[in-house]
Amino acid sequence: MERALHPAGYVGRPGRRLAAGRFYGFDPDHRAPRGAYDAGQDTPLVDGAAQTGNALALDGFRAAATVGILEPGDYFQVGDELKIITERLDCDSSGDATVTFEPALVAAPADDAPLILVNPVAIMQLAGDGAAAWSGNLNRITVGFSFAALEAF
C-alpha cells in the first residue's frame, strides 16, 4: 500500500528502504500521462544502452503510428530519475519513438530499462538546513507546510 502526504510528495513503498533523509518526490497534479498512452497496449522500454543527454530512443509502444502518445508536461521515471517531457511524442508503425525531456540524464539507463509513466517518482532530499517550514495559527493548528528539495542520486 502506498501512502502519500500531500503536498509534501512523500511516498512510502514497502520493501524498499531509502537512505536517511531521503524520500520519494512527485508532482501530485500529474500522476499519469495526458496523451494517447494506453497501459494495456504500451510498454515503453529504452531502445539501446549508453544513451545520455536529453533524449532517449524507445521501443515497446503499440505497433501502430500514434500521434501524441505523450504530451509536453507529462512525467516519466527511468531508473531513479524523474523527467518531464518537452515535446510531443509520436510513435511509428513499429512502436518506436524518441522522447525529449528535461533535465538531462545523470546516468545512462540500460537497454530495455522500463519507463514508468503512471505514478513516476524521484528520490529526493531536502535542499539544506532550514529547507522545510511549518506555519500555524494561535490555536496551534497547522495551516501550511513548505519545503525545498533536490533530486538525490
**What DSSP character marks residue 110?**
P
Amino acid of residue 54: N
Mean pLDDT of the chain: 85
Q: What is the pLDDT of residues 3-16, one digit of tens each?
A: 334 443 444 444 55
Query: Could you tell me which residues are beta bridge partners of residue 146?
Result: 133
Greater confidence (32 vs 128) lies with 32
pLDDT band at 54 (very low <50, low <70, confident <90, very high): very high
* Backbone conformation region of residue 57, classed left if phi is above 0, alpha if psi is from -120 to 50, else beta: beta
Domain limits, the chain: 1-26+121-153, 29-118
Topology annotation, domain 29-118: Elongation Factor Tu (Ef-tu); domain 3 (2.40.30)
pLDDT band at 138 (very low <50, low <70, confident <90, very high): low
Average the pLDDT over 40-59 and give the result: 96
Cell numbers found for residue 32: 499519469
Q: How far apart are CA 100 and CA 90, in angstroms?
A: 11
Q: How far apart are CA 68 and CA 66, in angstroms?
A: 7
**What DSSP character marks residue 113?**
P
Whole-model pTM: value is 0.78
CA distances from 4 to 1, 23, 67, 131 (A): 10, 11, 33, 20
Q: What is the pLDDT of residues 60-111, one digit of tens each?
A: 999 888 999 999 999 999 999 999 999 999 999 999 999 999 999 999 999 9
